[in-house]
């Protein structure tokens, strides 16, 4: 099976940088005028979470710009043969160590600015390609689970649940505990990383880089406990994330189009739109003659589509002020919105494509690294 990582067309990349520059002040004004009338749908990507310490896929220093980066594909991860089992060992070891930084990540000012738009009913629905759950964290103090599920569509799933090949699900925290019990040396190593504040280079899908020579074949992927209760062993599990080569469900696809259809405009933030599941929503909006505004650094797959308005600036530099301007006096009068527009951490990821963990293991943890012999 041949599956490739979605990319931006070469013609778009060659034309990058030719667009007229816009000042932050002008961008704030334009975005505010676009948002102020309301009835806006929002589509977000990995660029929104960069200020929370999670790297983007394709932006500057993104994993997919590194020619040495090799993601695991859906057919590899779910392969029932011993070859598939080896892929799962590699994936789950890296994900076991990479998940805590995603779990602990906090919303940045972009998440809270978008949450303010949702709470104010200016942009009541967000479609996100992100799997980190940060849009939920940004509004969970005022919206319950049901309201968040209705207002936030996770187009590519979530890292915070795990599903087996027979359809059973378990929350990620429970699965992390299961992995730790099955792999006590790696559990000790993970605990030492957290104790010392060492943070691995985490990709948006929770994957990390490990040192060359790591013995993945010694890692134990636990069996699904629900399958065990049904009398079978099954360690074919994956997070509820859409992997390359996997299709989103018909329900999620239909809901994404429904959200675009029910709003007058589409506001796109922090994404190159390289994946077809997002790109087709933009094409759909344009076909319906809806105004579409893109706020993103660098080229996108949709750059050559007619009728698209593009602002090439970091969202973190302009979005909060644009939302304040769009909401007018409500930004100060409403205590919930006012607090949202003052909230958010900024913790940009460290440099480096391949900064594996540990660069040099702590001496007292060397026994926790499986032998390379």
Residues carrying an active site annotation: 156
At CA 131, angle to CA 144 and CA 251, rounded to 5? 75
**Cβ partners under 8 Å of residue 58, min gap 6:** 7, 8, 46, 64, 65, 272, 274
Which residue bears the tokens 């012999």? Answer: 373
Count how many Cα atoms sit within 13 Å of the Cα of residue 209 in the half-sphere of its side chain. 15
H-helix or E-strand spanning residue 119: helix 109-119
Q: CA distances (Å), 287 to each of 12, 31, 41, 254, 276, in order?
A: 21, 22, 16, 17, 16
* Coarse DSSP helix, strand, coil percentages of the chain, rounded to the nearest 5 percent: 45, 10, 45
Round to whole Å and give the CA distance between 181 and 141.
Answer: 33
> Angle at which helices 276-287 and 250-261 pack, to 10 degrees?
30
Round to whole Å and give the CA distance between 119 and 215.
Answer: 48
Three-state DSSP class for 122?
coil
Pull the structure tokens for residue 303: 């750059």
At CA 330, angle to CA 327 and CA 334, rounded to 5? 135
Polymer length of the chain = 373
């Amino acid at each position: 099976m041949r599956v490739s990582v979605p990319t931006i067309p070469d013609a778009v990349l060659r034309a990058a940088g030719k667009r007229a520059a816009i000042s932050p002040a002008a961008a704030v004004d334009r975005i505010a005028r676009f948002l102020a009338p309301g009835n806006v749908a929002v589509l977000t990507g990995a660029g929104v979470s960069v200020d929370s310490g999670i790297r983007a896929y394709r932006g500057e220093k993104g994993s997919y710009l590194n020619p040495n980066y090799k993601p695991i594909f859906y057919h590899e991860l779910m392969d029932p043969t011993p070859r598939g089992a080896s892929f799962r060992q590699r994936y789950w070891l890296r994900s076991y160590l990479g998940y805590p930084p995603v779990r602990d990540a906090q919303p940045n000012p972009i998440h809270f600015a978008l949450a303010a738009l949702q709470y104010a009913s200016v942009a009541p629905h967000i479609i996100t390609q992100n799997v980190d759950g940060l849009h939920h964290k940004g509004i969970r103090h005022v919206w319950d689970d049901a309201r968040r599920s209705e207002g936030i569509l996770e187009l590519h799933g979530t890292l915070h649940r795990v599903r087996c090949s027979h359809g059973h699900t378990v929350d990620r925290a429970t699965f992390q505990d299961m992995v730790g019990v099955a792999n006590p040396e790696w559990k000790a190593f993970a605990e030492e990383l957290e104790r010392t504040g060492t943070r691995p280079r985490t990709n948006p899908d929770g994957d990390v880089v490990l040192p060359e020579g790591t013995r993945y074949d010694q890692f134990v992927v636990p069996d699904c406990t629900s399958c065990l209760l049904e009398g079978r062993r099954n360690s074919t599990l994956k997070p509820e994330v859409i992997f390359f080569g996997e299709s989103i469900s018909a329900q999620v696809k239909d809901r994404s189009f429904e959200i675009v259809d029910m709003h007058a405009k589409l506001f796109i933030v922090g994404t190159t739109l390289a994946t077809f599941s997002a790109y087709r929503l933009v094409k759909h909006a344009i076909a319906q003659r809806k105004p579409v505004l893109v706020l993103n650094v660098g080229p996108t797959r949709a750059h050559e589509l007619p009728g698209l308005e593009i602002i090439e600036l970091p969202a973190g530099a302009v979005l909060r002020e644009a939302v304040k301007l769009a909401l007018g006096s409500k930004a100060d009068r409403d205590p919930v919105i006012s607090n949202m527009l003052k909230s958010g951490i900024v913790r940009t990821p460290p440099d480096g494509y391949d900064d594996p963990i540990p660069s040099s293991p702590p001496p007292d943890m060397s026994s926790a690294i499986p032998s390379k012999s």
